[in-house]
Amino acid sequence: MNKETMTQDALLSSTPNRMTRRQMLRTSAQTGLVLGSASFIGGALLTACGDSGAGAQVTLTLADWPVKASVLTSKKPLTDPDDISEKEVIQDWLNKNKNVTIKASSYNLANTDQQAQAAIAARTAPSLMAVFSNLALTRSASKVKFAADVTDLYHQYDLDNKLADYAKPLFKNGYNLDGKYYALPGDGVGAGAGLYYRRDLLKERGIDEPQFGWSWNQFYALLRQFQTDGKPVMGAPSWMFAWIFNSNQLDRQPNGILGSVPSPKTPWHWQINIDPWVETWTKLAQDYRKAALDDNLIEQNTVAYPWEGPAMGKFASGQYPFSPGYAFQGTISGYAPVTPVDMPAKYGKPFDDLVGFISYPKGQNGSYNSGIYGSISGQVMFPSYVKSEVLQKAVDLYIYRVYGDGYINKYAKKYELTKQPQDAYKFIAPANIYQKNPKVPADVTVENAYGVRWVKSYMDPIKNLAPLPQIETFFAPDKQTGPTSAAHDDLLAKLSQSKDNVSDILHNFQQVYNQQASTLQSDLSPEEFTASAKKYLAALDTYFKANQPDFYEGDWTKYYTKYALPALS
């Protein structure tokens, strides 16, 4: 096995238990769903060839994101305002770059990470690849020289001043690798996950709306106020309980923090240590079991709810007054027969009067689930073997379309065609500086499009939660993946869907995980791991002290000083 074949295996790393853009796209493709034009999901692939030298001909082959090449080759007249506006801005760029030819690609954007990685290793990858929010993939690709160093281009195009103030720290927190960039920032900023609720029904009952930083006790109390005849008030996927226990950071890396301790002397350098937290786990599980199993507040059904989409559909159709979901789901369509964007027509009320969204509560120990933080998504990476003139044109087109006039003009033109405020804005929180489109009337704002309250609830976690240090940026790539998720899936199912003894469930998970870990040999030496772990944990210590003082003074300091640091000494 040669080095390239070996290292491609290192490009895949486990991700937190939340749906990524690529995963949601894959789900949509598998179920035959088509997302609306305001979709938060996309992908772009550009391949190119050309001789060196000034003015050389360059061919860019594109898929559907961020530039939709098919609008240039369509043999039928375009009727969709999104397609019409897209073609106009692409043609404007081509008129200024006459040595560039664009061809449409049939590349399947729903390809798995492994398929994308194999293409990179085989040197058949497009010249621009969407890596979405995959920090591990980007870091690995940079280390094994698969990804082009785009640091100079980042500065040449002055992206520091093209990124929104709220997006800049999110990108740099994950993608600034020792002062270098191997990916360019994506197009939108997500606001994580939380609870959708019927704002109009809360108002009718005189119930105050939940506020950012609320508690899980308040969550259960709110649901109980809407239950009648013992019927559930929301549906939920099998991992709903994970949002609760990870609000206390109880899980193992990378989903949580407290559940795993560094173990440089063992073959796999992380071990599960449940014992300090059994009491907290037990209390959280008992509360959830009472709500879901005893009181039937939450309908848990792994078949009906393979993810949050179907639950959102039942919320939008009026069957349930609540639903778990991701913030971006409120303003897109296609993932369920009826979605929140359809509700104004159904109920004859403005969207902002009908639909509320609030980030999931903080933990009882003062921490937050990593899944509710703001995150920049849609990052793009360039294989290192593309020629310089190809790289330059691919970057130029990407910056134009996502961070420049192409973005402004696309949505200004679309608004001109439809006169719908939502069409002036692809995102509530774009990664660029155009949260207000300068080429539409002054009163056509994102607040006018989606509602003042909705925009505030979307922006709250983005503005209120400083970016959490990312584990992927501290550790060198490891070609050995960790223990499988099977034991963790079993843990989650038994904690949330049975009444088995919580301590027994936890210790069984600990035993199975650690046994499996003992058979895996990390690619990192004990010395490498120890040095990286110390830096990572020190960064977390600084972060929690500054941003989450209650968590810092309690569970974090207990974990850090009593378990983590001694293990690294």
Residue 119 lies in a domain: yes
Considering the domain architecture, whether residues 20 and 117 belong to the same structural domain is answered as: yes
Residue-wise pLDDT for 337-353, tens only, equals 999 999 999 999 999 99
Considering the domain architecture, whether residues 495 and 441 belong to the same structural domain is answered as: no
Considering the domain architecture, whether residues 161 and 90 belong to the same structural domain is answered as: yes
Give yes or no for residue 26 having a pLDDT over 60.
Answer: no
* Top-confidence residue, 403 or 116: 403
User: Is the separation of the CB atoms in 309 and 30 below 8 Å?
Assistant: no
Give yes or no for residue 52 having a pLDDT over 50.
Answer: no
Q: What are phi and psi of 365, to 5 degrees?
A: -95, 5
Cα 350 to Cα 342, 355, 425: the distances in Å are: 11, 9, 18
* Top-confidence residue, 495 or 142: 495
pLDDT band at 301 (very low <50, low <70, confident <90, very high): confident
In the block, tokens 């937290």 appear at 277
pLDDT band at 98 (very low <50, low <70, confident <90, very high): very high
260 SS3 class: strand
d(CA 279, CA 262): 22
Residue-wise pLDDT for 231-260, tens only, equals 999 999 988 999 999 999 999 887 889 999
Considering the domain architecture, whether residues 20 and 129 belong to the same structural domain is answered as: yes
Considering the domain architecture, whether residues 357 and 384 belong to the same structural domain is answered as: no
- Give the number of domains in the chain: 3
In this structure, what DSSP letter does residue 47 have?
B
Residue 249 lies in a domain: no
d(CA 481, CA 488): 15
Q: What one-letter code names the amino acid at 98?
A: K
In this structure, what DSSP letter does residue 300 have?
E
Residue 262 lies in a domain: no
The pLDDT score that the predictor gives to residue 56 is 84
Residue 81 CB-density burial (10 A; 0-12 exposed, 13-18 middle, 19+ buried): middle
Residue 353 lies in a domain: yes
* Top-confidence residue, 307 or 269: 269
Looking at 348, 372, 396, the residue that finishes a domain is 372
Residue 284 lies in a domain: yes
Report the pLDDT averaged over residues 399-409.
97
Considering the domain architecture, whether residues 160 and 113 belong to the same structural domain is answered as: yes
CATH of the domain at 99: 3.40.190.10
Residue 228 lies in a domain: yes
The pLDDT score that the predictor gives to residue 142 is 66
User: Is the separation of the CB atoms in 448 and 473 below 8 Å?
Assistant: no
Considering the domain architecture, whether residues 202 and 339 belong to the same structural domain is answered as: yes
Looking at 337, 372, 407, the residue that finishes a domain is 372
Q: What is this structure's pTM? A: 0.85
Domain extent at residue 563: 471-568
The pLDDT score that the predictor gives to residue 23 is 45
Q: Considering only CA atoms, which of 525, 524, 522, 536 is closest in space to residue 472? A: 536
Considering the domain architecture, whether residues 555 and 449 belong to the same structural domain is answered as: no
Looking at 334, 351, 372, the residue that finishes a domain is 372
Considering the domain architecture, whether residues 313 and 355 belong to the same structural domain is answered as: yes
Report the pLDDT averaged over residues 79-87.
96
What is the number of alpha carbons within 13 Å of residue 55 lying toward its C-beta?
0
Cis before 254 (ω within 30) = yes
Considering the domain architecture, whether residues 39 and 173 belong to the same structural domain is answered as: yes
The pLDDT score that the predictor gives to residue 114 is 66
Residue 265 lies in a domain: no
Which range has the worst mean pLDDT, 266-275, 378-387, 505-514?
A: 378-387
Residue-wise pLDDT for 208-233, tens only, equals 999 999 999 999 999 999 999 999 99
Considering the domain architecture, whether residues 458 and 500 belong to the same structural domain is answered as: no
d(CA 297, CA 294): 8
The pLDDT score that the predictor gives to residue 19 is 42
User: What are 430's strand-pairing partners?
Assistant: 188
Considering the domain architecture, whether residues 453 and 508 belong to the same structural domain is answered as: no
Residue 295 CB-density burial (10 A; 0-12 exposed, 13-18 middle, 19+ buried): middle
Residue 37 lies in a domain: yes
Average pLDDT, the chain: 85
437 SS3 class: coil
The pLDDT score that the predictor gives to residue 11 is 22
Length of the chain: 569
Report the pLDDT averaged over residues 514-541.
96
